[in-house]
Amino acid sequence: MSFRALERLSKAELLSFLVSRYDADPVARSNAALSRFIDEILEGADLDWRPSPRRLCRALQRRGDPKRNMTLVLGNDSRVPPADDGEALP
């Protein structure tokens, strides 16, 4: 997707695009790599809104997408709090 195409996306569409790219790229699975990737995409699209990895996860949870496996987004980050149902994420 080109940067021009990214400029026309809403924040929700951009978030969805970033997560799909993150899910597809195992190198981007650390928070630092994801953070840099998001910064580069948003800077190229001249946007100043940048979610942190935790904010990204919360936004996906609010959207309630049942098809998205949140463990793919969260990885094994021990800093992430337990899920709402009381179970800790892997």
What is the mean pLDDT of each successive set of 10 residues along the chain, which is 90 residues long?
68 72 66 70 61 66 56 46 48
Specify the 3-state DSSP secondary structure of 58: helix
6 CB neighbour count, 10 Å cutoff: 18
pLDDT score of 32: 75
Q: Nearest CA to 38 among 65, 11, 61, 58?
A: 11
Residue 40 burial by Cβ neighbours in a 10 Å radius (0-12, 13-18, 19+): exposed
pTM, entire model: 0.29
